[in-house]
């Protein structure tokens, strides 16, 4: 057995319901950079969860699916660097290019900013 934490992205790691999405969009805080727009709201859990919202304006189904895959991968791989106890909804910024490394950096940086705002910093 490995001592490495799981990198799975299971149901417990997702924001799933429409009600949760609406609550986060309405009452959460927003952080944007040239790559991603992230809405966040504290949850009562000991881990963070991810929701993805991608408009058809972003492109065709394969383009949208690539964005989703890259965002999920960034969340899974960077989980140790993402603050816990938050629900995040992530969407691409208009005109952004789907680049895995940029998405990873953007996700971690924006999540930290949102967490500091939650903590009053």
SS3 label, residue 39:
strand
Does residue 97 lie within any of the structural domains? yes
Q: Give the structural domain span for 46.
A: 34-118
For the chain, the domain total comes to 1
Which CATH number goes with the domain that contains 82?
Answer: 3.30.230.10
**Has residue 121 got a pLDDT over 80?**
no
**Has residue 120 got a pLDDT over 70?**
no
SS3 label, residue 60:
coil
Does residue 29 lie within any of the structural domains? no
Does residue 2 lie within any of the structural domains? no
Does residue 40 lie within any of the structural domains? yes
C-beta of residue 29 within 8 angstroms of C-beta of residue 40? yes
pLDDT digits (tens, 9 = 90+) for 14-72: 998 999 999 999 999 999 999 999 999 999 999 999 999 999 999 999 999 999 999 99
Strands, E assignment, the chain = 29-32, 36-42, 49-52, 86-92
Does residue 17 lie within any of the structural domains? no
Does residue 84 lie within any of the structural domains? yes
C-beta of residue 84 within 8 angstroms of C-beta of residue 48? yes
């Amino acid at each position: 057995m490995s001592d490495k934490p799981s990198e799975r992205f299971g149901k417990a790691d997702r924001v799933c319901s429409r009600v949760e999405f609406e609550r986060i969009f309405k009452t959460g805080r927003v952080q944007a950079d040239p790559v991603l727009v992230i809405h966040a709201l504290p949850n009562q859990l000991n881990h963070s969860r991810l929701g993805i919202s991608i408009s058809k304006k972003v492109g065709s189904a394969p383009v949208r699916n690539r964005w989703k895959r890259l965002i999920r991968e960034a969340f899974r791989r960077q989980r140790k660097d993402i603050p816990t106890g938050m629900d995040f909804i992530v969407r691409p910024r208009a005109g952004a290019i789907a680049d895995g490394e940029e998405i990873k950096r953007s996700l971690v940086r924006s999540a930290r900013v949102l967490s500091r705002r939650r903590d009053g910093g």
